[in-house]
Amino acid sequence: MPVKIIGFGQVESAATIVFCASKDRFSTKNCRFTIHEGTVTIGTPTLPLSVHQAQLQNAEVRRKAAVSIYAQTLKKSEEEVEALIKKGQSFDPEEARKLGLVTEIIDKLF
């Protein structure tokens, strides 16, 4: 089923992954996009090491999935995407369009 997605305001962090789900990715002129490396919060620091290892493994699975999705969407190598997310940065709509994140910039929502 074709889906069109519109970024307005802010599309940040994990929301950029969701934004990539559509072939047609629109942005209003005032939107900001942020791509960065994921984080892990360990709620109880005194858990057994095996629990921490499992949390890190889950985080690594999510990181690899994000890299793959960005690479496909932006038409970049996984190595290029790795560097991009480690750098972490925000983009205005024109920068996001040049990057390949946005397919079209629109004046208004409707």
**Mean pLDDT value across residues 54-78:** 95
Neighbours of 102 (CB within 10 A): 25
Burial class for 92, CB neighbours closer than 10 Å (0-12, 13-18, 19+): middle
Provide the CB-side half-sphere exposure for 83 (13 A, CA): 4
pLDDT of 3 strictly over 90:
no
- Which residues contact residue 72 at a Cβ distance below 8 angstroms, ignoring those fewer than 6 apart? 20
Q: What is the pLDDT of residue 98?
A: 98
> Closest by alpha carbon to 91, among 33, 7, 47?
33
Give the pTM: 0.87
Q: Confidence class of residue 11 from pLDDT cuts 50, 70 and 90?
A: very high
Q: What is the pLDDT of residue 51?
A: 87
